[in-house]
């Protein structure tokens, strides 16, 4: 059987302020987990604009990406509720750092997001068992190592932005 591999394209924000990192606590199939503000890339958007959108939806903060921290592949298997073959999931994550903007206290957070938290690097490292993905700490560590790549490294062709959203 020939199955085409299709990793899910995701974006994440690595946001540091005064020695603390902004994470979200969210409901997942595995219970409450910590994650970077992150989500799936929507049709018609660039990775940087998707990151800005996801950060606003999950934290109520404006965010302007200024650099790419890294591009990551992560894979895991989610057991099915029926005891059948586990679902094999691969994520291709584009992680950005940038400028944190205004907070909109009247904005409701995305479905599933319980709250935002600011944690020190030590607290992020100590909470690995609660992370949604091993990429939470890896992205922070790469940021702390000073990894920054220009946004121009990622080219989004005009055909992507001009496409009509097939999802509505």
For residue 115, the surrounding DSSP H or E stretch is: strand 113-119
pLDDT in tens, the chain (168 residues): 567 778 899 999 999 999 999 999 999 988 999 999 999 999 999 999 999 999 999 999 999 999 999 999 998 766 666 777 777 788 899 999 999 999 999 999 999 999 999 999 999 999 999 999 999 999 999 999 999 999 999 999 988 877 655 555
pLDDT at residue number 87: 72
**Residue 87 β-bridge partners:** 78
Question: For residue 168, what pLDDT is reported?
Answer: 54
Closest CA to 143 of 9, 33, 36: 36
How much is the pLDDT for 140? 98
The radius of gyration of the chain's CA atoms, rounded to the nearest angstrom, is 16
37, 59 contact by CB (below 8 A)? yes
For the chain, list the domains and their CATH numbers. Answer: 8-153 (3.90.79.10)
In order, the DSSP letters of 98-113 are: EEEEEE-TTSPPPTTE
């Amino acid at each position: 059987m020939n199955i085409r591999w299709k990793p899910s394209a995701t974006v994440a924000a690595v946001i540091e302020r005064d020695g603390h990192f902004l994470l979200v606590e969210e409901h997942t199939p595995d219970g409450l987990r910590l994650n970077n503000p992150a989500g799936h890339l929507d049709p018609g958007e660039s990775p940087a604009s998707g990151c800005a959108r996801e950060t606003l939806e999950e934290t109520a903060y404006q965010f302007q990406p200024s650099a790419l921290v890294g591009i990551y592949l992560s894979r895991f298997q989610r057991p099915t509720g029926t005891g059948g073959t586990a679902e094999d999931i691969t994520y291709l994550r584009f992680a950005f750092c940038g400028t944190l903007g205004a907070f909109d206290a009247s904005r409701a957070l995305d479905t599933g997001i319980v709250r935002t938290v600011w944690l020190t690097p030590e607290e992020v490292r100590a909470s690995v068992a609660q992370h949604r993905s091993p990429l939470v700490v890896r992205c922070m560590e790469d940021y702390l190592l000073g990894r920054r790549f220009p946004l121009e490294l990622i080219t989004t062709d005009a055909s992507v932005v001009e496409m009509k959203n097939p999802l509505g």
